[in-house]
Amino acid sequence: MTDRTATLTFSDGAPPVTFPVLAGTVGPDVIDIRTLYAKTGKFTYDTGFLSTASCNSTITYIDGDKGELLYRGYPIEELATKCDFLEVCHLLLYGELPDSTEKIAFSGRVTKHTMVNEQMQFFLRGFRRDAHPMAVMTGLVGALSAFYPDSINLHDANQRDISAIRLIAKMPTLVAMAYKYSVGQPYMYPRNDLSYAANFMRMMFATPCEDFKINEVLVRAMDRIFILHADHEQNASTSTVRLCASSGTNPFAAIAAGVACLWGPAHGGANEACLNMLYDIQAQGGAAKIGDFIAKVKDKNSTVKLMGFGHRVYKNYDPRAKLMRETCYEVLDALGLGDDPLFKLAMTLEKIAVEDEYFVSRKLYPNVDYYSGIVQKAIGIPVPLFTAIFSLARTVGWIAQLNEMIADPEYKIGRPRQLFTGQTRRSVVPLAQR
């Protein structure tokens, strides 16, 4: 709260109304308009939430102009280099990084829940083998509420905590199962002696005939992908989770809604779309065709976008993209793919775009998805699985945000209003006379 106020005046002579201005610890102040309708009979209009803070939060802070991302105050650059994903999960869920005793206890809790109910594989069998992994994930995550009815009461803090641990623990198992099902290989059970990222990679790449050989560079890259995607304040899928859970539904159902929202190419689906875009440019002639592609992107009559570029909040280089580019070098180097033509194409395209007036004037810079696809492809992850891996990583953020909302004494069911522009009241004409 500040002692400042904002006054709204009207050109039609209606009396002015005054609202408190609230200040966060950092970032733009907000005008508290919750009493606007009661005072004036009017709503605000803000499609796409361009100027609306939908909640208060203590979890993640982004300064889009500076290109800064903090989880609970810690810069993403430090978390990505000094912590592992489970430490970041602890930070997001409980507010602080764990000490070494807490880390062991937390990792132990998560690993105890990595298996899924055996029945889940029969549920999975109902899907076509060629189903998109995100279609499968939406179904599997939603189905968890049917398998774990003892942790579905959103208003019980203990049940919320158990469902949080279950979700974080089981997402890698589910994503790997979705993959194994798509290629017709047997599911690999989790191995709790491995790190979170190594266990996931083993469930993906091992078979009963051949175990997964751990490559520390690739495991670290996977872990970094998880850290960079773990939370991103009130983005579309997180807002979906909050809105969905605001009705009091169970955590698994709310997270399934987040998975569904994430699938879209403007959000989590961008990493898949970005890699497909690079393949297309390569197929059309590679670097020589970048000019034609950029011309299409700039054409007002085309719907083509430079995928992996632009962000609602970042009007500067996405700090996650810098870290991802660094990881990209490390992974390609470790695999002897330093001359990978797709990576070279991505670098050339980025260089041309960041110097082009169209992108400069609109403050369009690479986002995390620009390089994450190349890293995942190099690791051996099939392209359609990219967004499922994003959903695995974002689950902790979704659940931390959901928990924060439910614990907030000001929490109410989310219920936006509208500017109605349709037909006013009219009578039904009997069928014979229409």
Please give the residues from 205 up to 244 whose contact with ligand CMC meets the rule CB under 6 A: 232, 235
Q: CB of 165: closest distance to ligand CMC in angstroms? A: 25
Considering beta carbons, is residue 212 or 314 the nearer one to ligand CMC?
314
Site string for ligand CMC, 365-394 (x = CB under 6 A): --xxx-------------------------
Q: CB of 300: closest distance to ligand CMC in angstroms? A: 7
Catalytic residue, from 84, 223, 318, 369: name it.
369
345 binds ligand CMC (CB under 6 A): no
310 binds ligand CMC (CB under 6 A): yes
Catalytic residue, from 84, 229, 311, 318: name it.
311
What is the three-state SS of the chain?
Answer: CCCCEEEECCCCCCCCEEEEEECCCCCCCEECCCCHHHHHCCCCCCHHHCCCCCCCCCCEEEECCCCEEEECCEEHHHHHHHCCHHHHHHHHHHCCCCCHHHHHHHHHHHHHCCCCCCCHHHHHCCCCCCCCHHHHHHHHHHHHHHHCHHHCCCCCHHHHHHHHHHHHHHHHHHHHHHHHHHHCCCCCCCCCCCCHHHHHHHHHHCECCECCCCCHHHHHHHHHHHHHCCCCCCCHHHHHHHHHHCCCCCHHHHHHHHHHHHCCCCCCCHHHHHHHHHHHHHHCCHHHHHHHHHHHHHCCCCCCCCCCECCCCCCCCCHHHHHHHHHHHHHHHHCCCCCCHHHHHHHHHHHHHHHCHHHHHCCCCECCHHHHHHHHHHHCCCHHHHHHHHHHHHHHHHHHHHHHHHHCCCCCCCCCCCCCCCCCCCCCCCHHHC
Please give the residues from 262 up to 281 whose contact with ligand CMC meets the rule CB under 6 A: 266-268, 270
309 binds ligand CMC (CB under 6 A): yes
Q: CB of 28: closest distance to ligand CMC in angstroms? A: 16
204 binds ligand CMC (CB under 6 A): no
Q: Is 90 a residue of the active site?
A: no
Q: CB of 304: closest distance to ligand CMC in angstroms? A: 8
Q: Is 113 a residue of the active site?
A: no
**Binding residues for ligand CMC, total number by CB under 6 A:** 20
103 binds ligand CMC (CB under 6 A): no
Q: CB of 103: closest distance to ligand CMC in angstroms? A: 28
Contact positions vs ligand CMC (CB under 6 A): 232, 235, 266-268, 270, 297, 305-312, 362, 364, 367-369
Residue positions annotated with a catalytic role: 311, 369
